[in-house]
Chains A and B, each alone.
Chain A
């Protein structure tokens, strides 16, 4: 039976897409600043990077507030229950056309693998990038008050960026694993997901 489920609120969707856009722009300009390629030129890349970094910080502050006030943060608590069947599904079941072992509900919309992935994203990957990014904005103070040299800040920031890019690649690919290639993308745009059952 087809069922329509509202998974994502308006704020969540807005937050998701703005964050996605900002992170893509930050990664692009960031790797240019890193010297990986030349696209905008260092000065423009730096300007764009700054104009994206501040909104991302503001957005993140809003998102943290939203997660706390709505209690939605609990969605991201990882648990080992059912993690094996889900992992097996992506390694084997998906090729055999088996059904996803996890059924989403409004209360529990992340499968255990997703919960673990997003938990890592929100407690490690993003904080590493954001905190080192803020230090990078004030390198002289980071050095003076926290004794963190620019090199350490920069290398940490780069490491965070590599992790985020890898996350982004896999994350984007996994959006194609719904009922149709675009099921999950549509859900993140409209907020509603069609699931069978």
Chain B
């Protein structure tokens, strides 16, 4: 699949990476049978098309899941991605995502990539490529101050100032709780915004989209924790389905950019656990997309999953973090100092360390300004007295 030179390999949405082995219909699009033989005969070096066929459509559509991988990356220009720029470096995915990292020429092993968990391809057990492998961790020739940042700030943080910059919207919010509405005569509803993004779908609920977005930032050492179905959640808060691990004290962690996807999804309101509802199925099977009943769908789904369900459905708000690694902007577009070093800049939420321009000691500032104002008042009074009393 990764080496499909025909460009016909297309994931069937919801089939988790498998193509349509038979002709299938989904959401009004017919997915042609994929001729695996034809693909096999046209094998060439894997290109962005082959990897992109899956990864640009993660989450069920173009740019849905990732904010930095969408169909605009088939042929990006330099302003979108300096490495995959078709008129410039024109890197394939595999230049960076190589099974064995030493295949790459021109790399400098000045410092190991900051991540302890190194993964390039699913089947890869070797190194995980990082920007440092090619650029070193002190890549700025004329600006040592920027190099001093690389032990706390990830390259991606400064070099991906905005994500979803290619004009393809990425999904930001998916509220399942509004799903199931029909028109008065019982038809499914599909609403799209002016750019053609689905903002309401009877099967899926309400969705929100965006382009050219500011990332959110978190300490990250390349490892995420994920909530498991059996974990007890607190429905009064927003539940983080996954969470980047790391902190200021953690030497391997860096401030990293993320797309944070918001969601609202069903859960077991009695046991406070996530539920896995059955979505697909014929009428009578309990599948949500046939009967639009969350309780039935959860009952069936959890039965198949093999875990108990109390029968009581609620909805919780969730977040999901996706790290951003692509759409590296030209150097001129890098994040400006003031975006971070200001009172309410992009790092306002990361408070565990001193950031010049943002932080200060309230006591020192209070005493300092008192001294300054007292000095000014003192000389003013002294000067006025001198002036008056002289005559």
Contacts and interface: CB of A to CB of B under 8 A. Distances in A.
12 contacts: A35-B358, A96-B389, A149-B354, A150-B356, A158-B360, A158-B361, A158-B364, A162-B368, A165-B368, A166-B372, A169-B376, A170-B379
B375 interface: yes
Contact of A162 (B359, B367, B390): B367
Contact of B151 (A97, A140, A154): A140
Interface residues of B, number: 35
B364 to A, nearest CB: 5
A122 interface: no
B385 interface: yes
A34 B372 CA distance: 16
Interface string A87-101: 000100011110000
Given A140-B151, A158-B365, A95 B342 contact: no
A140 B151 CA distance: 9
A41 B341 CA distance: 10
Contact of B337 (A46, A95, A140, A150): A46
A154 B367 contact: no
* Chain A, interface residues (CB within 8 Å), range: 20 to 34
A42 interface: yes
A35 B365 CA distance: 11
A64 B288 CA distance: 82
Interface in B339-371: 341-343, 353-354, 356-361, 364-365, 367-369, 371
Interface of A: 33-35, 41-43, 46, 50, 90, 94-97, 139-140, 149-151, 154-155, 158-159, 161-163, 165-166, 169-170, 173, 176-177
Interface string B60-82: 00000000000000000000000
Contacts of A41: 336-338
B379 A169 contact: yes
Main secondary structure of the interface of A (DSSP, over half): helix
Task: State the majority secondary structure of interface residues on B.
Answer: helix
Contacts of A33: 341, 356-357
Given A33-B356, A149-B354, A166-B371, 5 more contacts: A33-B357, A34-B356, A34-B360, A150-B353, A154-B354
Interface in B142-159: 145, 148, 151
Contacts of B378: 170
A170 B336 CA distance: 37
A35 B342 contact: yes
A162 B357 contact: no
B371 A162 contact: yes
A42 B341 contact: yes
A137 to B, nearest CB: 10
B390 A97 contact: yes
